[in-house]
Structure 1
Amino acid sequence: MKNDTAGPQGSFSARMRLSAAQQADVVPLSDATLDDLAAKIAADAMVIGIGESTRFSRETFGIRDRLFRRLVQGHGFRALAMQDSAGAVAALDRYVQAGEGSAASALDGAWRPWRTAEMAATLEWIRAFNRDHPHDPIRIFGVKPAQAQPEDYDAVLDHVRESAPERWAEAASHLEPIRTAHRTDEHVQRARGTHPGRPFIDHARDALALIRSLPGVDRADGVLARMRLIVDFHERSVAGRDNYAGDGAAWADAIDDHRRRTGLRVVYWDGIAHTSAAAVTLGLAPERGPQQSVGSLLRDRYGARYVSVAIGFHHGDLGVATVPEPAGDLMDAMLGEAEPSAHWLDLRPAAVRRRWDGPAKARVISGVYTPSRDAAEHLAVACLADAFDVLVHIRQASPVRWLP
């Protein structure tokens, strides 16, 4: 592999070929080697972030799920943190603790990327584990604060219908368009050309002003509080914040607080831009520069006891889009040269780090992905081995199976 950067570290900023030494660093992915990987990352870890480069791949989700099960069964991890609101994930936790409803029904209020047959199967496995271990169960929690749910819109509109029917149509004109964000995020609607036009946060604020103007609303069974939750939901969204980074500090606090309160070791599931243990620059917003991730904040707090695992892929049909082979300056292209087609790589040993480290770009396939701007659909990190302790890579991906 040609190295045209100063010092021992390589660089992914210009395409280089996989060397024989780097090929030797790669471990074929199998059930046996996943056992080894789980043991390596669990050794001293208190929190393990397992991130995917896309939420639409059955294979990358499957690897994350298989690794999580090994961390539970063999290494005592008993908490799963997910990027979703505390209220939505509470329904998942009720299912895995008490068997309330079904896995699919528990996911009804979850963020859309979680509403898949693969996630339902994970919940069913956790439920079975908890039945067999009633005194040592797995808990699930959301890293976001409680958010508005579709029933909050219903409650607000019902109140307007009863207290000021002449203003119901006006209230509905604000609330009906924006409630669609609970099924498809507003920024995704914009990317797909289905957005109705006016920013959702403006509709939400106008609806709040309307509700405040109604007589007796302060005595109306939490209607004003529900409306404030709706405004907060849209203010904190990607579109409302005009920022893909999310509220990393609050999410890291939620993980840290849960671990300290319960004493449980935590597995954190999210995208690689959030689980990265170093700041990331998003290709869709390079002007913002490096952004602190949840994982970078956890690395600051936990040091090596926070472990970052990144799962990526080379190409494939994800249902929402067909993703071509990666550009040569992405680390996904270099990992795609390695054999076999599914493998993993521990970057922490000093010799391995020297062979692989340096500035890097990794592909990120989000809900706004389009092949026409594939070159921008990535994250960039200043130092690969600071961002990710372990890389897992597969050659070809296929779509998850969406729940009805």
Structure 2
Amino acid sequence: MATDIETTVHAVEAAAVMRLLPARPRLLALGEPTHREEDLLDLRNDLFRRLVEQEGYRTVAIESDCLRGLVVDDYVTEGTGALDDVMANGFSHPDLGLSRSAANRELVRWMREFNEGRPAPDRVRFAGFDAPLEITHAESPRRSLTALHRCLASQLDAGLLPCTEAALDRLLGADDGWTEPAAMRDPARSVGRSPEARELRLLADDLVALLDERAPQLIAATSRDRWDRARLYGRTATGLLRYHFWMADTSSSRMTRLVGLRDRMMAANLLALAERGPALAHAHNSHLQRDRSSMRMGGATVEWWSAGALVSARLGTEYAFVATALGTIRHQGVDTPPPDTVEGLLYALPGDRHVVDARLLATTLADAPPAARVSPYYGYASLDPAQLAGYDAMVFLKDVVRR
């Protein structure tokens, strides 16, 4: 059996990944089974560099706030700001330590160095593709909605706009109402269904429609890149207002709608990035897999279609998903995997990391289906062997060490 499994593994190289795919994808998604581990981010960095140098990829997108990501993109493309400030302000999810990560800092530094002296079309780009959401709250729509209004107001006659910026400001009110932490668990504390919020949803829809209607004029007056950025503001504003609306819902489907809306916003951002050219996306496996995702929340199981599933439905073979599996995270109590699991079978092979032909491995193991590994650590999601045949490829990392 070990010899058969060895035929499914290759060196961790961009070319090895590409050979396993049915077509060159516009969006190559690399998942991770846990967060906050530098070894996994180093692996991402190495793969991205190889994709840039060998396959012509020019964008990396990570599981971080899409608006904050603009700060990083401005730095790597134009040199705007200082690296310390960019790291402090360009990443979200402080619970994941994204801004403090040495691997993230190295990625940003390398991208800036790569772009130095290159023409704009050949520069690498950075993006966050997550919504501006945290565990404790959802962001106020003020930042995105105001930015969209200003983009339009700077180029169009005031009479075309459905409202003034002052009217938006009045309807938005204090940001504290939108970011109230208690609203995550208590719908009654949410402002998402107030008369002001309902009016803002209509105005945001009109502003996005105007952006689309005037696309030729706006692109000619500014640039395609500026119009794409305005589209991002529009997607984020309407997405946040919809998210707040469902935060105020009292039905049993509330959490299902919220987790689904988050991945819907992720998917919209990924599809927009794919329009620009081939990109590498990096996030948790559960956000990028083609199968339905699920998690335990409040004593119940919540299921939703992930961003990867939504993007795959749209792009077909131009979307590829590479899952990451691992052997040990001993500092989190994840020890040597049982030998009858996928992770255990791969752990027994020589070498520290592999690219795995997931479909061939599934075929190889069909007569003796492996057991599912039970995770002793809540922050690590072990591989579901039933999903193996649905992966385009897999990366296996033998040991993750504390740094």
TM over 0.5: same fold?
yes
Q: Following the alignment from structure 2 to structure 1, what is the Cα–Cα distance between the partners of residues 260 and 29?
A: 16
Task: Work out which of the residue numbers 376, 379, 396 in structure 2 matches 1:393.
Answer: 396
Aligned partners of 1:205 and 1:231 also within 8 Å: no
Task: Work out which of the residue numbers 353, 377, 388 in structure 2 matches 1:342.
Answer: 353
Letter paired with 1:80: V
Instruction: Number of aligned residue pairs: give it.
Output: 322
Does residue 205 of structure 1 match 2:184?
Answer: no
Deviations 1:230-287 (A, max 9, x none): 87666779x9658656633332232223322x3x1111111111222x2144363697
Does residue 256 of structure 1 match 2:239?
Answer: no
Aligned partners of 1:245 and 1:293 also within 8 Å: yes
Aligned partners of 2:178 and 2:191 also within 8 Å: no
Pairwise CA distance, 1:199:
2.6
Q: CA 1:332–1:308 in 2, change beyond 3 Å: closer, same or farther?
A: same
TM-score, structure 1 as length reference:
0.64
Letter paired with 1:345: V
Letter paired with 1:269: H
The answer for the alignment partner of 1:128 in structure 2 is 113
Pairwise CA distance, 1:294:
2.0
What is the correspondence of 1:231-250 to structure 2 with a 5 Å cutoff?
Answer: 247-250=262-265
Pairwise CA distance, 1:150:
8.8
Task: Work out which of the residue numbers 30, 37, 49 in structure 2 matches 1:50.
Answer: 30
Q: CA 1:35–1:205 in 2, change beyond 3 Å: closer, same or farther?
A: closer
- Higher RCO, 1 or 2 (CA under 8 Å, sep at least 6)? 1
Q: Following the alignment from structure 2 to structure 1, what is the Cα–Cα distance between the partners of residues 179 and 274?
A: 38
What is the correspondence of 1:55-204 to structure 2 with a 5 Å cutoff?
Answer: 55-107=35-87, 108-112=89-93, 113=96, 114-115=98-99, 116-135=101-120, 136-145=122-131, 178=181, 199=185, 202-204=188-190
The answer for the alignment partner of 1:331 in structure 2 is 342
The answer for the alignment partner of 1:9 in structure 2 is none
Deviations 1:210-233 (A, max 9, x none): 999xxxxxxxxxxxxx99998766
Aligned partners of 2:141 and 2:241 also within 8 Å: no
Does residue 355 of structure 1 match 2:364?
Answer: yes
The answer for the alignment partner of 1:299 in structure 2 is 312
Pairwise CA distance, 1:323:
2.8
Q: Considering only aligned residues, what root-mean-square deviation do their CA atoms show, in Å? A: 4.4
Does residue 384 of structure 1 match 2:401?
Answer: no
Of 78-87 and 241-250, deviating more is 241-250
Aligned partners of 1:284 and 1:377 also within 8 Å: no
Task: Work out which of the residue numbers 15, 22, 36 in structure 2 matches 1:36.
Answer: 15
* Unaligned 5+ runs, structure 2: 144-169, 198-235, 248-253
Aligned partners of 2:243 and 2:258 also within 8 Å: no
Deviations 1:95-152 (A, max 9, x none): 1112222334223352223221211110111111111423311222333456665997
Q: Following the alignment from structure 2 to structure 1, what is the Cα–Cα distance between the partners of residues 335 and 130?
A: 33
Aligned to 2:36, the other structure's residue is in SS state: coil
Q: Following the alignment from structure 2 to structure 1, what is the Cα–Cα distance between the partners of residues 370 and 258?
A: 22
Aligned partners of 2:246 and 2:258 also within 8 Å: no
Pairwise CA distance, 1:378:
4.1
Letter paired with 2:263: G
Q: CA 1:203–1:390 in 2, change beyond 3 Å: closer, same or farther?
A: same
Pairwise CA distance, 1:309:
1.2
* Unaligned 5+ runs, structure 1: 2-18, 154-162, 179-195, 213-225
Q: Following the alignment from structure 2 to structure 1, what is the Cα–Cα distance between the partners of residues 105 and 274?
A: 25
TM-score, structure 2 as length reference:
0.64
Letter paired with 1:106: V
Aligned partners of 2:62 and 2:127 also within 8 Å: yes
Q: Following the alignment from structure 1 to structure 2, what is the Cα–Cα distance between the partners of residues 91 and 252?
A: 21
Letter paired with 1:252: A
Deviations 1:294-321 (A, max 9, x none): 2223333333322211222211245xx4
Q: Following the alignment from structure 1 to structure 2, what is the Cα–Cα distance between the partners of residues 233 and 200?
A: 14
Q: Percent identity over the alignment?
A: 19
Q: CA 1:273–1:82 in 2, change beyond 3 Å: closer, same or farther?
A: same
